[in-house]
Amino acid sequence: MKIHSGCEVGSSGCYEKNKHLIIGVDEAGRGPLAGPVVACACHITEHIDDVADSKKLTAKKRHQLASEIILKGQVCIGIENSRSIDVSDILKATMAAMKTAANTLCKKLGGKGLVIVDGNRVPDGLVWQSKAIIGADDSQYCVSCASIVAKVIRDHLMDGFDMTFPGYGFSKNKGYGTADHLEAISKLGPCQIHRRSFGPCK
């Protein structure tokens, strides 16, 4: 699966332009000390069993569901790397990733609809009407799907970084500030994908 910021990852055409369209948007990677923040926008009308907030699922289940979501739905991705996070801040970078994902999918689908974002705010400049819902990753089906895909894609990227920057345990900690990760930063210093604006990486 080749991933580019703002690209369409997969689609099944499961929508009708004359019907009300809903896109769910969620992110993965706001809290880690290293790696990108990844946002996913998802439009899906087919039911998939066991879809839930990605944090409630095992890695194996997330991978299984993500493949099915990408096959049956319309999915677009936005990615902001660690340098972008440092230049602006994590909130602005997250909003930028969400905007990229959402607007790319809005334009792909055409027509008009509603973007539902997990959290308490929506990005500025969205093409469609939008609504923020706290806990939407657990209560809104399309947002749950987006949360799963965002998490799986970010984990995949961190697995790759583990090979590029050995010694930090990225395939295990996914960039989060675990004890082992903090010890590695202390011994090796921060690497290229560490967020220098985050305390332990300064």
Parse the chain into domains and list their residue ranges: 8-159
Range from 5-14, 99-108, 114-123, 186-195 carrying the lowest mean pLDDT = 5-14
Give percent of the chain above pLDDT 70.
91
Residue 164: partners with Cβ closer than 8 Å, 6 or more residues away = none
Phi then psi for residue 14, to 5 deg, are: -85, 65
Nearest to 85 by CA among 29, 36, 122, 40: 36
pLDDT score recorded for residue 5: 38
For 5-34, what is each residue's pLDDT tens digit?
343 333 333 333 445 799 999 999 999 999
pLDDT the model gives residue 7: 37
What's the topology of domain 8-159?
A: Nucleotidyltransferase; domain 5 (3.30.420)
Are 7 and 81 in contact, with CB atoms under 8 Å apart? no
